[in-house]
Amino acid sequence: MKIIAITSFKGGTAKTSTTLHIGAALTKYHKKKVLLIDFDAQANLTTGLGFDPDEQDSMAPILQGEKTIDQVTVSTCLKNLDLIPADTWLERVEVTGALAADRYSHERLKQILMPLDYDYVFIDTPPSLCWLTESALIAADYSLVCATPEFYSVKGLQRLSIFMNNISERHFLKVLGISLSFWNLRGKSNDAFLDVIENTFPGKLLSSKVRRDIRVSEASIFGKPIFETAPKSRASTDYMSLTKELIKRM
């Protein structure tokens, strides 16, 4: 089982869409058993798969020792693609209940995931360097970093790099790659952005880039992956290519 934390220092980098569609591609086209964990209180991954966060339990009661994973895991529209939803309780879970008094609370998620029987587990983290993100990175074997060819997105990579380096000194963690979304082949500043990424994460930029496609937003309205709603779209093609590249890297 491989555990991958999907990370970003800011919102709007297609982090959730990347999580959803890599997981869906592995299940649909590579016959893998995949668990997606929505570890962001905004619960976009949960809603993107057609679930109401207000009607679901999240990882929060599992972390508090009140429920088991089996009790909160839900099946999605794709066979062998499961989801642990998110809710607003996640936002301050580390300062409530059993976690508040646990000085090693960052280790809890890793312990919870170790016995699971999946080929891949993907953790969609918040777009900030918080307790949830740190817990996910400690639990993960790999980190996939999401970015866009924009100034604030690329600059945020530098702070994220320092954060992950600090964690990797204490726990095994390998950066799987940097995934670029909303890619425009004609972007005037493309070379400058790519240079910053290469300097920050040498050799980690993935060649498969996801182009801007309104079909991704439309798919989320239906609560399904784009492979189900627009399988011939350019984003569908890009996510399939990205998934294949990640498989080779792992």
125-182 pLDDT per residue, tens: 998 889 999 999 999 999 999 998 887 777 788 888 899 999 988 899 999 999 999 9
Cα angle vertex 85, ends 125, 55, to 5°?
Answer: 140
3-state DSSP assignment of residue 114: coil
Q: Residue 249: what pLDDT?
A: 92
Q: Residue 101: what pLDDT?
A: 82
Mean pLDDT of 114-134: 94
Q: Residue 2: what pLDDT?
A: 97
Q: Residue 175: what pLDDT?
A: 93
Alpha helices in 10-105 (DSSP H): 15-30, 44-48, 60-63, 69-72, 97-100
Q: Residue 151: what pLDDT?
A: 77
What are the structural domains, with CATH classification, of the chain?
Answer: 2-249 (3.40.50.300)
Per the CB < 8 A criterion, the answer to whether 131 and 100 are in contact is no
Per the CB < 8 A criterion, the answer to whether 72 and 100 are in contact is no
Half-sphere exposure (Cβ direction) of 10: Cα atoms closer than 13 Å = 15
74 CB-contact burial (10 Å; exposed 0-12 / middle 13-18 / buried 19+): middle
The C-alpha atoms of residue 227 and residue 29 are separated, in whole angstroms, by 10
What does the chain come to in residues?
250
Q: Residue 77: what pLDDT?
A: 94
Query: Is pLDDT at 21 greater than 80 in this prediction?
Result: yes
Query: Is pLDDT at 122 greater than 90 in this prediction?
Result: yes
The C-alpha atoms of residue 78 and residue 36 are separated, in whole angstroms, by 12
pLDDT tens for residues 43-87? 999 999 999 998 999 999 999 999 999 999 999 999 999 999 999
Joined together, the tokens standing for residue 37 give: 């964990």
Q: Residue 104: what pLDDT?
A: 87
Nearest one of 97, 50, 84, 3 to 219, comparing CA atoms: 50
The C-alpha atoms of residue 222 and residue 218 are separated, in whole angstroms, by 7
The residue ranges of DSSP E strands in the chain, in sequence order, are 2-7, 34-38, 74-75, 81-84, 120-124, 142-147, 174-183, 210-211
- pTM (2 d.p.): 0.95
Q: Which residue has the higher pLDDT, 207 or 101?
A: 207
Joined together, the tokens standing for residue 246 give: 């990640």
Q: State the maximum Cα–Cα separation within the chain, in Å, rounded to a whole number.
A: 52
Q: Residue 110: what pLDDT?
A: 96
Per the CB < 8 A criterion, the answer to whether 24 and 227 are in contact is yes
Q: Which residues contact 14 (CB under 8 A, 6 or more apart)?
A: 146, 148, 179, 181, 182, 210, 216
Joined together, the tokens standing for residue 65 give: 């020792």
Give the mean pLDDT of the chain.
Answer: 92
Q: Which residue has the higher pLDDT, 237 or 189?
A: 237
The C-alpha atoms of residue 21 and residue 28 are separated, in whole angstroms, by 10
Query: Is pLDDT at 209 greater than 90 in this prediction?
Result: yes
pLDDT band, residue 98 (cuts 50/70/90) = confident
Q: Which residues contact 68 (CB under 8 A, 6 or more apart)?
A: 62
Query: Is pLDDT at 11 greater than 90 in this prediction?
Result: no
